[in-house]
Amino acid sequence: MDNEVFVAAKNAGVMPRHLTTLANVSRITAMSWLKGRPVRLLRGIELAKALAKALHAKELPAPPEYRGAELDNYIRQAIHKYLIRSS
């Protein structure tokens, strides 16, 4: 399930740079998750749950009017909100 969530998140515009700061993982790890590779870290599983909630709540993908840094901030905040709630 986690793999599918990350692939869906990638299709919704989530990039490795968004995940590296939220999960404190390397860009390589974030990229592998977004490509659908197995998630073995607890923080990756928690991140997958937060992504699933953000996708279900239709907060991702971001509205089309967001661009650049504003888009990055929107995506990080949408995911971070659900990371905090699950803690």
User: What pLDDT, on a 0 to 100 scale, did the predictor assign at position 71?
Assistant: 96
User: What pLDDT, on a 0 to 100 scale, did the predictor assign at position 86?
Assistant: 64
Per-residue pLDDT tens, the chain, 87 aa: give them. Answer: 688 999 999 999 999 999 999 999 999 999 999 999 999 889 999 999 999 999 999 999 999 999 999 999 999 999 999 998 765
User: What pLDDT, on a 0 to 100 scale, did the predictor assign at position 18?
Assistant: 96
Termini Cα distance of the chain = 20
Q: At what angle do helices 27-34 and 42-56 cross, to 10 degrees?
A: 50
